[in-house]
């Protein structure tokens, strides 16, 4: 699945993955200029579990 989910859909998806015994992997970062290093990092993170959840940092959070 490669999609953005609203909170309700995310919670449902997380419950489904947990219910089937799947491992959920979470990472976050600033990907405003996506490059090959980002895509490799995300692919490696995805390989660690059944579902990868990516949080996006705001511009303010990385400048702070």
Is residue 40 situated within a structural domain? yes
Condensed to tens digits (0 to 9), the pLDDT of residues 5-59 reads 999 999 999 999 999 999 999 999 998 889 999 999 999 999 999 999 999 999 8
Percent of the chain predicted with pLDDT > 90 = 80
Per the structure, the complete domain to which residue 29 belongs is given by 24-64
Is residue 42 situated within a structural domain? yes
Provide the domain count of the chain: 1
Is residue 31 situated within a structural domain? yes
Is residue 16 situated within a structural domain? no
Condensed to tens digits (0 to 9), the pLDDT of residues 12-21 reads 999 999 999 9
**How far, CA to CA in Å, does 5 sit from each of 18, 30, 50, 53, 60?**
17, 18, 16, 10, 23
Confidence of residue 1 (pLDDT cuts 50, 70, 90): low
Is residue 7 situated within a structural domain? no
């Amino acid at each position: 699945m490669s999609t953005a989910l609203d909170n309700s859909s995310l919670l449902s998806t997380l419950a489904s993955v947990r219910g089937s015994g799947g491992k959920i992997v979470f990472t976050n970062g600033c990907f405003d200029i996506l490059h090959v290093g980002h895509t490799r990092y995300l692919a490696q993170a995805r390989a660690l579990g059944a579902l990868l959840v990516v949080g996006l940092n705001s511009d303010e959070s990385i400048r702070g």
